[in-house]
Chains A and B, each alone.
Chain A
C-alpha cells in the first residue's frame, strides 16, 4: 500500500497522517527502509497525529526524535493524539505556585 503517513524519526511514538484516516482504516508508513502499518482505532484528521505505540500518562510524546510534551492520560496505539491527551511542558506560567 502507498504510504499515507509520515514517521519523522525512528524514536517517534507518533506519526502524522497525510489524509483523513477513518476509524478502522490502516496507516502505512516507512522509516529507515522498514515498512510500518497500524489500524486507527478512531478517526484522525488530515495532518494530525496517531499514536504508534501505547503511551502511558506522564510519558513523553516523541516527534522528530524529541519530546513535544507529556501524555495527560494513557494513550493506546492507533489513537488520535492531540491537545485532548498531551500537554506542553514549556511556557507554563499557569503551573507556577505563587
Chain B
C-alpha cells in the first residue's frame, strides 16, 4: 500500500515536515520557545534537562534529544544551547547531522544573550522553514511506517474495546509490512508471561521479563506500594482495581503479532526487521511517547478511557476511546469512537479497520484532533538524580 510523505536522505520517510528547535538544556528552553514563536512552521521542544546529569541518565537524555532531531518527521533542526551546559550543543548538532539533514546551532552566551540569540536563531530558523516548505511529498510504501502504541487515562473499557481494536489495527499495519511499538513497561506487570510466549525466541522473552522485573524492583526498592501511582486514581474511578488488571487490558494494543525484540528507551527501531517491538518506557504517557518518537516512530495511536488531550510536537497522535460517554464528553479531543463495540455491537475488527484507515489518512496529511488543538505535550524520561 502506498502513502504520501517526505523522503529523507537516510532512506526514511516522514509524514510531517517539521523544523525542530531543540534546546540542549533547560537554560536554553525558553529562548528556543521565543524563537519558535517568531517563526511559522517551527516547533520548539522545551525541556528541563541537559545539565548536571551523570552516567546512564545523561546518556539517555542525550540519546533522546538526538533521536527526536533524527525523527523522519523532522526536516531540519536548530539546536539552541546556553553554552556551558552538560549536553554540549555543538555535539548534539553534530550527532543529528549524521542523519544528513540540515542542522544549525547557536549559543546564547556567544550571541549576545536573549536578544542576540533570538535574532540569530529566528533568522536561521525562518530560512530553514522556507527551505522545508519547498519540499514536495512523494509516494512511499506503508511498510516504512513505525506506529507508536500508547494508552493513557485508561478505564475498564480500554481492555474491552479500544485496546483490542488498536491491536487489530496494529496487526493490519504489520500485515502490510509495517512496524508497531508496544511501550509502558509498568503496564506489562502482571501480563508479561502472556507476552513472553509471543516473543520470537527465548532470548527476547528473557529480555522482556528482565525489563518488567527491573521496573517492579524500582517500586519494591522504594518500599512503596505501586498502587500509590499505578493504577492511577482515575484508572481506579474507571473500574480498574489493580496493576495486573490494567496490564492485561493494555497488552491488547499489541494485537497478535510476535515480538521481534525489546528496545531500550529511545533506542532506534531497526528498519531491517519489521513487525512488533516492545520499548522499555514508563507508564507516564508523555515520557513514553517521547521514547518511541526518539526511536523513529512517525505516528502514534493513543487509547484512553477517561479521555486525555495529549498530542506531540513531532508525530500526529490519533486518539481512540472505548468509552462511549467519554467520546461524547471529549469529542473535540477524540478521533475514533471504539465505544461502538460496547453500546452498538460493532466488532473489534471493524473498529480496527477504521483505526487503520485513520492511520493512513493522517499519514497522508489529515490533521488529528490533537494537531488541530495545537497540543504539543512533551517530556523526557529521567532515570537518575539531578546534581
Q: Which of A46, A82, A90, A94 contacts B241 (CB 8 A)?
A: A82
B371 at the interface (CB under 8 A from A): no
B222 at the interface (CB under 8 A from A): yes
Q: Which residues does chain A contribute within 8 Å of B236, judged by CB atoms?
A: 82-83
Q: Which residues does chain B contribute within 8 Å of A82, judged by CB atoms?
A: 236, 239, 241
Query: How long is the Cα–Cα vector from A90 to B189 in the complex, in angstroms?
Result: 7
Q: Which residues does chain A contribute within 8 Å of B189, judged by CB atoms?
A: 90-91
Query: How long is the Cα–Cα vector from A75 to B273 in the complex, in angstroms?
Result: 49
In the complex, what residue of chain A is closest to B228 when comparing beta carbons? A94
Query: How long is the Cα–Cα vector from A90 to B217 in the complex, in angstroms?
Result: 10
Q: Which residues does chain A contribute within 8 Å of B248, judged by CB atoms?
A: 63-64, 66, 68
In the complex, what residue of chain B is closest to A18 when comparing beta carbons? B342
Q: Which residues does chain A contribute within 8 Å of B222, judged by CB atoms?
A: 93
A67 at the interface (CB under 8 A from B): yes
- Please classify how large the interface on chain B is, using the bins under 10, 10 to 19, 20 to 34, 35 or more: 35 or more
Indicate if the CB atoms of B239 and A48 lie closer than 8 Å: yes
Q: Which of A18, A69, A93 contacts B221 (CB 8 A)?
A: A93
Q: Which residues does chain A contribute within 8 Å of B60, judged by CB atoms?
A: none
Contact status of A96 and B323, CB under 8 A, knowing A66-B248, A82-B241, A90-B216: no
- Comparing B32-40, B73-81, B151-159, B349-357, the segment that makes contact with chain A is B151-159
Q: Which residues does chain A contribute within 8 Å of B305, judged by CB atoms?
A: 47
Q: Which residues does chain A contribute within 8 Å of B123, judged by CB atoms?
A: none
A13 at the interface (CB under 8 A from B): no
A-facing residues in B115-147 (Cβ within 8 Å): none
Indicate if the CB atoms of A68 and B241 lie closer than 8 Å: yes
Indicate if the CB atoms of B238 and A47 lie closer than 8 Å: yes
Contact status of A88 and B220, CB under 8 A, knowing A6-B160, A66-B191, A68-B248: no
Query: How long is the Cα–Cα vector from A92 to B230 in the complex, in angstroms?
Result: 11
Indicate if the CB atoms of A91 and B241 lie closer than 8 Å: no
A16 at the interface (CB under 8 A from B): yes
Write the B324-356 contact mask toward A (1 if CB under 8 angstroms, else 0): 010000000000000000110000000000000
Indicate if the CB atoms of A93 and B160 lie closer than 8 Å: no
B91 at the interface (CB under 8 A from A): no
Indicate if the CB atoms of A92 and B226 lie closer than 8 Å: yes
Q: Which residues does chain B contribute within 8 Å of A63, judged by CB atoms?
A: 245, 248
Query: How long is the Cα–Cα vector from A18 to B243 in the complex, in angstroms?
Result: 21
A57 at the interface (CB under 8 A from B): no
Query: How long is the Cα–Cα vector from A86 to B323 in the complex, in angstroms?
Result: 24
Dominant secondary structure at the B interface: helix
B194 at the interface (CB under 8 A from A): yes
Q: Which residues does chain A contribute within 8 Å of B242, judged by CB atoms?
A: 68-69, 86-90
Indicate if the CB atoms of A92 and B159 lie closer than 8 Å: no
Q: Which residues does chain B contribute within 8 Å of A86, judged by CB atoms?
A: 241-242
A8 at the interface (CB under 8 A from B): yes
Contact status of A88 and B227, CB under 8 A, knowing A16-B160, A68-B248, A93-B222: yes
Indicate if the CB atoms of A93 and B245 lie closer than 8 Å: no
Write the B301-314 contact mask toward A (1 if CB under 8 angstroms, else 0): 00001000000000
Query: How long is the Cα–Cα vector from A91 to B160 in the complex, in angstroms?
Result: 24
Contact status of A96 and B220, CB under 8 A, knowing A16-B160, A45-B239, A47-B155: yes
Indicate if the CB atoms of A68 and B238 lie closer than 8 Å: no
Indicate if the CB atoms of A89 and B244 lie closer than 8 Å: yes
Nearest Cβ distance between residue B274 and chain A, in whole angstroms? 28
A-facing residues in B338-382 (Cβ within 8 Å): 342-343
B55 at the interface (CB under 8 A from A): no
A81 at the interface (CB under 8 A from B): yes
Q: Which residues does chain B contribute within 8 Å of A81, judged by CB atoms?
A: 241
Query: How long is the Cα–Cα vector from A61 to B238 in the complex, in angstroms?
Result: 18
Indicate if the CB atoms of B160 and A90 lie closer than 8 Å: no
23 contacts between A and B (CB under 8 A): A45-B239, A47-B156, A63-B245, A63-B248, A66-B190, A66-B248, A67-B190, A68-B242, A68-B244, A68-B245, A69-B244, A83-B236, A86-B241, A87-B242, A88-B227, A89-B190, A89-B244, A91-B227, A93-B221, A93-B222, A93-B223, A93-B224, A94-B224
Interface residues of A (CB under 8 A from B): 6, 8, 16, 18, 45-49, 61, 63-64, 66-69, 81-83, 86-96, 98
Known: A47-B155, A66-B248. 10 other contacts (CB 8 A): A18-B343, A47-B156, A48-B156, A67-B190, A67-B244, A88-B226, A88-B242, A91-B226, A93-B220, A93-B223
Kindly list the 5 A-B residue pairs having the minimum CB-CB distance in the complex, ordered from nearest.
A91-B226, A88-B242, A68-B245, A94-B225, A47-B156
